[in-house]
Each structure stands twice: as structure tokens, then as C-alpha cells.
Amino acid sequence: MPTIIDIQNLTKRYNGLTALDDLSLSVDEGAVVGFIGPNGAGKTTTMRVLTTLLQPTSGSAWVAGHEVTREPQAVRRAIGYMPDFFGVYEDMKVWEYLDFFAACYDTPAAARPGMIDDLLALVDLGHKKETFVEELSRGMKQRLCLARTLTHDPQVLILDEPASGLDPRARIEMRELLRELKHMGKTIFFSSHILSEVADICTSIAILEAGQLVAYGDMEEMKRKLRAHRLVQVRVLGSLAPLQEFLLRRPDVHSIAAAPEADLPRDAVRFDFSGDDDALSALLAALISQGIPVLSFSEETGDLEDVFLQATRGIVR
């Protein structure tokens, strides 16, 4: 897939503070990238540079083939930006709000009504078309603002905390909307503090800390890179003793645990395994050849929170 966002050695300093420190990152067309990191890591600064709202101190960034400092108008045509704090015109009706922004992008007046209806259907606000914006709930305003970013059919969506402040139901609605935009082929680059939802939507994640990229890749790839040992659980019929004796003789097996010391079923053992996929498959084959009655053999997978905690060091600037 061609690269649609390309950040090279991007640095941004505010007086004595370095908000971005030599950041390099590439995003393929059609990808959905979750941009996560502690508060003050530089996520919003990165997005403001990509959206031409902030000049970098050094380095370069391209969006859809356009350099952000030299071709800002072309970049703005290619992106839809939803900031973490957005403004809405309270005294406008919902359709008027979208019509106003479509006009700002020179959408012909004759084409706007149909486009507005399509966008409202996409964000499930068709029934609020004649409602004043001030009467909408926060979740509805969020979805309306996302519709606003789509009025000119941008290639790239840059969304800063799109689910911020939403209740659980509204977060689910936002997640489903982002998933639909993904299926439509949009490239989505968004920040979030709701780690489980990032993992659920994204094709890959980028973790930023103190202005530096500390990890980037898809979930499984990052788990493999960040975890020295793999966590494996085995359940057997009958006594655990033969299984434990076998595992103790293996140099690639470490930290064997069982109930009641560990939070495990009575027929299960958990251990760290330092081998690769071939070695893990060979271990299962060896267990079976030894006549150990294996009920289940599975690798326990961590979640995005585990990856985040391992990748970051809790730096506060």
C-alpha cells in the first residue's frame, strides 16, 4: 500500500520544552492508526503539525503527497480534522451546520442537500436534521463534528480524542462509526486514552512518550517485540505432577505456576516460554508423545494496556 502520511525527523520546541523529538512515522493508505501515549507525550502537537495548524521547529511531514509547510492548502483538502475541543454553532440547525462547512469547501449548492442527507445517515443523525445544534447531546455533537470532517470527502481523517467525554453507549456508537469509515477505505489517524477501543478498531498502534516514538506496529507484532517470554497455559486430565516434572526439564520453560499459588483452574499449569513458534509446537508434540493427557494448550495474550505499560517508562516532563 502507498504511504499517505509520512513524518520525517519532526521536532517541535516551545521555548525550553521539546514537545516532539525527532519523530519519524509512516502510515499506509487505508490504515487505521491508534496514536497513544501519556498526557503531554506530543500527540496533539503531532496532529496540529499534520493539519498545518502548527509549524515544526525542524523536520518534515507529508500528507497525501503534500508537504505540510509548503502546500498547506492541498493538505487541508486531503484531510478531515476533528480536534479534541471542537466548536459548534449552537444557533444553527444540524443541516445548516453541515451546509455551511460544505460551502467553505466550495461544494456546489445543488450537490449539498444530497450530500448532507448521506452524511447524516452515516452518523445516524437523519432524524435530527431540523434540530438546533444546541439541543443535541454531547455524543450527537461528536458525531455531527465527525460528519463535518467528511463534507469534502477527504482521504485522511485526523481525529484527536474522538470519544473523549462520551458515555459508554456513545463510545460504542463512535467506535462503530469509525469502523464503518474504515470499511469505506478512509485512512484514520486518531488519538485515544481508551486503550481497549484503540485495539478493537486499529490496524496498528503508535506509542509516543516524551515526544519520541517508542513503539509502532500491529498488536501481535508489538506483543512479540515487547515480551521477552510467552505466557502458556496447559490443562491436563488427572495429576499435574507428570506435566510439571516434564516442564522442569525444559530449558525454554520458566516460572511454572499452578493453583492454589496462581489464579488457575486445578487442572492447569501456566509458564513462561522463551522459544519461537516452531519450538512451541514442538513442546506440544513432546507432551503428547510422553503420554501426558493434554486437554488444552494455549498461549495467553496480553492486551493493549500490557503493551503500553511495557513500552512506556512513565516519563513526566
Q: Whole-model pTM?
A: 0.75
Contact (CB, 8 A) for 59 and 7: yes
Per-residue pLDDT of the chain (317 residues; tens, 9 = 90+): 799 999 999 999 988 889 999 999 999 999 999 998 888 889 999 999 999 999 999 999 999 999 999 999 999 999 999 987 766 677 899 999 999 999 999 999 999 999 999 999 999 999 999 999 999 988 899 899 999 999 999 999 999 988 877 888 888 888 889 999 999 999 999 998 777 667 778 888 898 988 999 888 886 676 666 555 678 999 999 999 999 999 999 999 988 998 887 788 899 999 988 888 899 999 999 999 999 999 999 987 655 666 666 666 654 44
DSSP assignment of 42-89: SHHHHHHHHTTSS--SEEEEEETTEETTT-HHHHHHHEEEE-SS----
Q: Residues with Cβ < 8 Å from 166, sequence gap 6 or more?
A: 138, 139, 142, 174
Angstrom distance (rounded) from CA 271 to CA 253: 7
Is there a shared CATH topology between the 3-217 domain and the 225-305 domain? no
Domain ranges of the chain: 3-217, 225-305
Q: What is the CATH number of domain 3-217?
A: 3.40.50.300
- Level-2 CATH architecture, domain 225-305: 2-Layer Sandwich (3.30)
What secondary structure letter does DSSP report for 257? E
